[in-house]
Structure 1
Amino acid sequence: MAKPWATFGVDLHLEPTGGGVRRGLTDALREAVRTGRLAPGTRLPSSRALAADLGIARNTVADAYADLVAEGWLTARQGSATRVAERTVVPPTGTPPRPRAPGRPTHNLVPGTPDLASFPRAQWLKAARRALATAPYQALDYGDPRGRIELRTALAGYLSRARGVRADPEHILVCAGFSHGLRLLGAVLRARGARTVAVESYGLDVHWNLLAAAGLRTVPLPFDERGTDPGELTDQDAVLLTPAHQFPMGGTLHRDRRAAVVEWARRTGGLVVEDDYDGEFRYDRQPVGALQGLDPDHVVHAGTASKSLAPGLRLGWLVLPPGLMEEVLAAKGGIDSCGSLDQLTLAEFLVSGAYDRHVRAARLRYRRRRDALVAELARRAPRVHATGIAAGLHVVLRLPPGTEQSALRAAAWQGLAVHGLHRYQHPEAGVERRDALVVGYGTPPDHAWSTALEALCAVLPE
């Protein structure tokens, strides 16, 4: 039978020392507060609970609390818990100074994040309740390293219907976002003896760095007005592409080039990694089907909820060729890296149709923002040309030659966070320099969009 002291109160680690129980307790509490181990505002256990935990008289604890209240270390009010008093905590000698957090920009137009204020909280909570109510108790145990079967099944159905992916739940692995999935694939490629991975001339350095950390060299492919050119794919071991919506340039890989990539993979045995990061968001064209649908045996389809819902969910997936699962599981360490409840919630969100409804509503909201951006540019900055506007959550603004850096300086002065195109160019890419800004119009919340757009137009050359 559990002892009464084990079932109430809050835990507090103390080691009273010195002469006398009361003095030892008082000194231990004072030292914990003085050094900052007990932060200002921390709620302390009741005198009854702490006395039971320490095996001492309740009056002893009450007297120690009273002494420290009188000294100003603690605060206590009738009917309220005893708490650590608000005060400046002096760090121990030798503690390095805490670095100052960088100031937040007034407006954020950095691409890569959706409007987090529009996350469907009520619908997600509803799905979470249904998922938790119907989940077997085994769902709270250590899980399948591939991910929950409910989510893998729901993803197989959705991806087949909406993205043209040829998916089987047995070939889907749930991961903690695309970067996690890419790290796993990099480890598998290196274990196979791979040395080089072809990448696009424009992309994210975090992805190139992940591959480099796995011991793989990234080699950029040529880029022209038709997008990435796979003509120089030769003896590389794999290729990383964003074929449905090139990041950040915004184009779609031409069907002839899509076919050429698949033909290269079949001929050489190379692996194609398809980053389908925002395939749900298109406005002026029909959706482009996944490259994986052309050859599931050589293409890894990678997706994520980071753009459609929120990156903080840390939920992504890999649709793997049949022979690759065991190697990826080995790289993953045989553990399930994503919380079961979040996986079950996303599965319910997909199956119930809530995900489709959310995407459609978000698509309309982002299209209106894009239209407002294009219209304002035509009115106030006619020398700036918007490209890559048919899909996604960002746009590339082509600037007059030599004006990118001055635009970035003006943006910083305005408190506007925005990136230049040069930031996304591979250091070995042999492409002509283009002056441009990459604007994430999906990032601000609705209430801040109009002022962010105004700040953007103020820094552009007229």
Structure 2
Amino acid sequence: MANDRATFGVDLHLELRGGTLRTGLMDALREAIRSGRLAEGVRLPSSRSLATDLGVARNTVADAYAELVAEGWLTARQGSGTRVARRAVPRRPAGTGARPPGGARAAAARPPTARPAYNLKPGVPDLASFPRAEWLKASRRALTAAPHEAFGYGDPRGRTELRTVLADYLARARGVYARPERIVLCSGFAHGLMLVGQVLRARRVREVAVESYGLGVHTDLLTGAGLRLAPLSFDERGTRTEELAAMKDVGAVLLTAAHQFPLGGALNPGRRAAVVDWARASGGLVLEDDYDGEFRYDRQPVGALQGLDPERVVYMGTASKSLAPGLRLAWMVLPEGLVDEVVAAKGAVDWMSSALEQLTFAEFLGSGAYDRHVRAMRLRYRRRRDQLVEAVAAHSPVTRVSGIAAGLHAVLELPPGTEPDVLRSAAWQGLALLGLDRFRHPSVAPALDGLVVGYATPPDSGWAGSLAALCRVLPGRDITDTPR
């Protein structure tokens, strides 16, 4: 028989030390089981396979296995092979366990730290609604049609198949002026922003304007690139982009123009024009985060800011909200003069995103499955939004719901000074919630009390419970009434 270990099954790393081969093997197996490296139920290689790997006689392994079965370390059943036996975990002697700081009374006074029963944090879609069957069909078609070179090191801009269908989709659905050669694919919005931040720094940009309320991870990426931040104030018409004219050191501005995160409004048309005028006059760049632009409920989606001036706006989109963040699929539509610099930066840190996911998404998008999925989810999320608004109105008349024309979250504006108490109450109810203050830029004075409620996050089975838990913690609620 050929000595080919690839035919024998699983690999097992053991170090045999001292004594006879049989004794050394038994000691090594006992130690692997005792230390937890071999967990209960793990199937061991056949005696023939392990003997070949270790270079010992098969009878040596068979005898060692038999002895360990007799001792209770292993089990052996016909057709099931030899496995690690179930063993009781030794109890820790009384009095040796570590006590929480402050003793039992202090531990009881702290909010529970277990995984929350309900989750209304923003930023994640309903993952249970991911279109598995359609995605699998698209994956099979994409793999069947994929050229051999797709499995090699490709264009750092990403697969041309995806960039081509993306250009068509973005022009049709978001009003983006896009050509495939000006699209660069990346592994999520944060990855794209990191690359653009590096390019801005290399261009000697010193300062970037940001919205007063936004995601800290995004501002951290910009400061990590060596850029200073200048927050813009806001009012009922959105971010005050007219302030850019007085910011002499600002070379770029990051905006969520279609649906501001987290406050929820769309940028006023006059202020959209103002930011483009500033970019043209100053030579600056607008970084547009179109993170959930497909989900508009009460009227047609607001078109992308990029359509006003493709040479001054970097459009950045993602499949994280429309499909799932785990896909790590995002894209940038760049001004022509920026493409080579971004590609060079991307090549230095990440040559390209997964070609297989790109090809699958290209097939999914080009077949119309993506449009169908977005339309279905738009209806589902709109129903949830309406249920949220109705429940809050019934249980907490002092709470105003805003930012609901689009997106996957709503802002619940609370009476002044009540946000910390509501968040503490939510923690005790096992409800994961985030307050507005979490998203405030540190240099901006507190102005609003509120909650940022992600109504897309819970699966259908958890939506009613999450909504009921929310109503229980809102101020001015009627505790005898529960949402149905």
TM-score with structure 2 length normalisation? 0.90
8 A contact 2:33–2:39 mirrored in 1: yes
Query: What is the alpha-carbon distance in structure 2 between the residues aligned to residue 438 and residue 216 of structure 1?
Result: 28
Task: Report SS of the residue matched to 1:333.
Answer: helix
Do 2:157 and 2:352's aligned partners in 1 also have CA atoms closer than 8 Å? no
Residue of 254, 265, 268 corresponding to 1:251: 265
Match 1:302 to one of 305, 316, 326: 316
CA pair 17-133 structure 1, distance change in 2 beyond 3 A = same
Query: Structure 2 CA distance, aligned partners of 1:303 and 1:245?
Result: 13
Structure 1 residue 278: Cα displacement: 0.2
Asked if the contact 2:8/2:46 (under 8 Å) is kept, the reply is: no
User: How far has the Cα of 1:324 moved from its partner?
Assistant: 1.4
Equivalences for 1:161-180 in 2 at 5 Å? 161-180=172-191
Asked if residue 374 in structure 1 is aligned to residue 389 in structure 2, the reply is: yes
The alignment status of 1:16 with 2:8, answered yes or no, reads no
Is 1:284 aligned with 2:298?
A: yes
In structure 1, what is the equivalent of residue 54 of structure 2? 54
Partner secondary structure for residue 219 of structure 1: strand
Please report the TM-score for the alignment, with normalisation by the length of structure 1.
Answer: 0.94
How far apart, in 2, do the equivalents of 1:315 and 1:27 lie? 49
- Please give the alpha-carbon distance, in whole angstroms, between the structure 2 residues aligned to 1:83 and 1:442: 43
Distance 1:267 1:451 in 2: 52
Conserved? CA contact 1:35–1:89, under 8 Å: no
* Correspondence list, 1:67-216, <5 A: 67-87=67-87, 102-216=113-227
Q: State the match for 1:94 in structure 2.
A: none
2:376 partner letter? A
Q: How many correspondences in the alignment?
A: 453
Deviation at 1:384, TM superposition (A): 1.1
Q: Deviations over 1:47-74 (max 9, x none)?
A: 1111222232222111111222222322
- Mapped contact 1:145–1:336 kept (Cα < 8 A): yes
Report what 1:224 is aligned to. 235
SS in 2 for 1:82: strand
SS in 2 for 1:237: strand
8 Å contact 2:5–2:52 — kept in the other structure?
yes
Q: CA deviation at 1:262?
A: 0.9
- The aligned counterpart of 1:30 is 30
Look up the match of 1:453.
467
CA contact (8 A) 1:151 1:347 kept: yes
Distance in structure 1 (CA, Å) of the matches to 2:154 and 2:72: 49
Aligned position for 2:95: none
Q: C-alpha separation between the residues in 2 aligned to 1:322 and 1:76?
A: 67
Moved more, 133-142 or 330-339: 330-339
Give, in whole Å, the separation in 2 of the partners of 1:157 and 1:76.
60
Select 1:387's aligned residue among 402, 413, 416. Answer: 402
Question: Secondary structure, in 3 states, of the residue corresponding to 2:378?
Answer: helix
The residue identity in structure 2 corresponding to 1:176 is S
Give the superposition deviation at 1:171.
Answer: 1.1
Contact (CA 8 Å) 1:34, 1:89: kept in 2 or not?
no
SS at match of 1:439: strand
For the aligned residue pairs, the C-alpha RMSD in angstroms reads: 1.9
State how 1:342-421 maps to structure 2 within 5 Å: 342-421=357-436
Closer, same or farther in 2 for the Cα pair 1:137/1:367, shift >3 Å? same
CA gap 1:125/1:408 in 2 versus in 1, 3 angstroms: same
Structure 1 stretches of 4+ with a deviation exceeding 4 A read: none
The CA deviation at 1:337 is: 4.1
Residue deviations 1:122-149 (CA, integer Å, cap 9, x gap):
1111111111111122222223221111
User: How far apart are the structure 1 equivalents of 2:390 and 2:438?
Assistant: 26
Aligned residues of 1:243 and 1:252 also touching (Cα < 8 A): yes
- Contact 2:413-2:450 at 8 Å conserved across structures: yes
Provide closer, same or farther for how the CA distance between residues 38 and 172 of structure 1 changes in structure 2, counting only shifts above 3 A.
same
Output the CA distance in 2 between the equivalents of 1:81 and 1:385: 63
Task: Find the counterpart in structure 2 of residue 93 from structure 1.
Answer: none
**One-letter amino acid of the counterpart of residue 68, structure 1:** L
Distance 1:447 1:54 in 2: 52
Amino acid at match of 1:180: H
> How far apart, CA to CA, are the structure 1 residues paired with 2:87 and 2:192?
45
The one-letter amino acid of 2:36's match is: G
Work out whether 1:264 is the aligned partner of 2:275: no
Percent of aligned positions with the same letter in both sequences? 69
Q: CA deviation at 1:84?
A: 2.3
For residue 85 of structure 1, report the CA deviation from its aligned partner: 2.7
Task: Report 1:326-337 matches (<5 A).
Answer: 326-334=340-348, 335-337=350-352
